[in-house]
Structure 1
């Protein structure tokens, strides 16, 4: 128990030091290296504690007088039986190993996980990654624990860079050239804004007409942002677009206020 507590304390000190290093800098986001180090520290702590309990169990059996060598044959049979019954656990551990080594996501990443047997995805911020499970906290504050072996698709919304995509629905009678110019002006002003400029990687781009419907035409504005900042930038751009269009007498559909789960690209 003392050894396990010591390892847990050391792991907490290491992860705390990694977090303090990020908090003491002027960086707006965690680096991929910091995320990976945090996840690796958590996994190593979990593995070492598990090994301690296994070794202590063996020592207890020796102290009680059980010959360990005579337990090899029964242990083999028991191991085979447990292997068939614990396939899911083995699958979870192997999946967690590849998640960590391949750096699919780490502590602090915003992810969208597709889970076997569930209709909806688990979306939120990664709070813990072990070899067996991934814990994600949703926007509503709920903690979602997902076995790694049941993750069929992992979408990392905060890796390297992200993209905020805003579709602006306008009436089909509106002057599309004028609306496009207004959107371009909004993007230029946002890029000149000191607060938003820290989150944007470049000036937002007007892609043009995205779709045409019976009662509206959708124009698309795209902005590349820092990882995980696409939602904040998207909300700010939507507010600026709505105000600018309203000032120019252009009616905006309520659909403009809806958030889109647009992720990141590497």
Structure 2
């Protein structure tokens, strides 16, 4: 008999089993997704690293769908036990969906945009990106990607949640190659040819040392003078690197170049310091 003591016991057992399965699925999926994200975080820029980041993205999306389906089955089990007919429910949901369709345009846009981001491989979990959005530029490492949102961890630790439909331009800094650019300021009176020789000598030495040897795709080169002011001439040094190591190489190059030009007695003009409270436009 429906709603008798035996019926409630059977109902409770069925629901408990469904909920237990959904919880187990959620925990297992969450564990695997976290494991793949840790692997993606430590992945390099080679083919294996890109494969890991791509696999992490796919696992995260598939895992999310599996969890939603598991909990949907819990809801359907409850409805079935109460003998609720799904036909009228689906019809009512369809009518309500039409009424709510205009209000759900943003959700649909975000979901479709997320689908194309994944299919076109615009970026994966672990990639370093610049996203031009409705709210401005968001830069950092992709920590999570779903069909609706992208979570980006910025350099200062801020976690930005960006709706996929709000992304207009993607700049992926973890694909192909990167270019380290270092501008060296020396006094106008310094002999440019001498400075070039000193820099080229240093760059040749660094090409066979770590971290440069493993991070460089080509040997660094001195482009020459790119700017001249009343007090300084700016000489640019560039190096083609593995994409995710561009910033590391820039920092190390600046440090080694600064030490070398000081060692060789090359004069560097002081950087003008603006008085506190001064008007930048004055």
Structures share fold, TM-score greater than 0.5: yes
Distance in 1, matches of 2:105 and 2:199, equals 54
Q: Compared with structure 1, are the counterparts of its residues 23 and 165 closer, same or farther at alpha carbon in structure 2 (3 Å cutoff)?
A: closer
CA contact (8 A) 1:110 1:228 kept: yes
Q: Compared with structure 1, are the counterparts of its residues 85 and 169 closer, same or farther at alpha carbon in structure 2 (3 Å cutoff)?
A: same
Give 1:61's match in structure 2, choosing from 35, 55, 79.
Answer: 79
Distance in 2, matches of 1:122 and 1:245, equals 36
The correspondence of residues 189-204 of structure 1 with structure 2, limited to 5 A, is 189-204=205-220
Give 1:98's match in structure 2, choosing from 116, 123, 136.
Answer: 116
Deviation per residue, 1:55-104 (Å, 9 max, x gap): 43344334333322223442222111222111111111111111112221
Give 1:228's match in structure 2, choosing from 207, 219, 244.
Answer: 244
Deviation per residue, 1:213-252 (Å, 9 max, x gap): 3432222111111221111111000011111112222233
Secondary structure at the counterpart of residue 102 of structure 2: helix
Report the alpha carbon displacement of residue 18 of structure 1 after superposing the two structures with TM.
4.4
Distance in 2, matches of 1:60 and 1:3, equals 14
Q: Compared with structure 1, are the counterparts of its residues 12 and 227 closer, same or farther at alpha carbon in structure 2 (3 Å cutoff)?
A: farther
CA contact (8 A) 2:180 2:239 kept: yes
Distance in 2, matches of 1:72 and 1:139, equals 46
Q: Residue in 1 aligned with 2:233?
A: 217
Q: Compared with structure 1, are the counterparts of its residues 81 and 45 closer, same or farther at alpha carbon in structure 2 (3 Å cutoff)?
A: same
Q: Compared with structure 1, are the counterparts of its residues 185 and 84 closer, same or farther at alpha carbon in structure 2 (3 Å cutoff)?
A: same
CA contact (8 A) 1:242 1:252 kept: no
Q: Residue in 2 aligned with 1:259?
A: none
1:181 maps onto 2:204 in alignment = no
Q: Residue in 2 aligned with 1:6?
A: 24
CA contact (8 A) 1:204 1:221 kept: yes
CA contact (8 A) 2:110 2:166 kept: yes
Q: Compared with structure 1, are the counterparts of its residues 52 and 16 closer, same or farther at alpha carbon in structure 2 (3 Å cutoff)?
A: closer
**C-alpha RMSD over aligned residues:** 2.6
Q: Compared with structure 1, are the counterparts of its residues 5 and 177 closer, same or farther at alpha carbon in structure 2 (3 Å cutoff)?
A: farther
CA contact (8 A) 2:223 2:237 kept: yes
- Structure 2 length as normaliser, TM-score? 0.79
1:117 maps onto 2:122 in alignment = no
Q: Compared with structure 1, are the counterparts of its residues 157 and 47 closer, same or farther at alpha carbon in structure 2 (3 Å cutoff)?
A: same
For structure 2, the 5+ residue unaligned runs are 1-18, 272-282
Deviation per residue, 1:30-52 (Å, 9 max, x gap): 61111000011001111222233
Distance in 2, matches of 1:34 and 1:197, equals 24
Distance in 2, matches of 1:96 and 1:190, equals 43
Deviation per residue, 1:99-127 (Å, 9 max, x gap): 11222111221111122133xx2222221
Q: Compared with structure 1, are the counterparts of its residues 142 and 132 closer, same or farther at alpha carbon in structure 2 (3 Å cutoff)?
A: same
Deviation per residue, 1:159-209 (Å, 9 max, x gap): 132111111122222211111222212211211113321111221111222
Q: Which has the larger radius of gyration?
A: 2
Q: Compared with structure 1, are the counterparts of its residues 76 and 16 closer, same or farther at alpha carbon in structure 2 (3 Å cutoff)?
A: closer
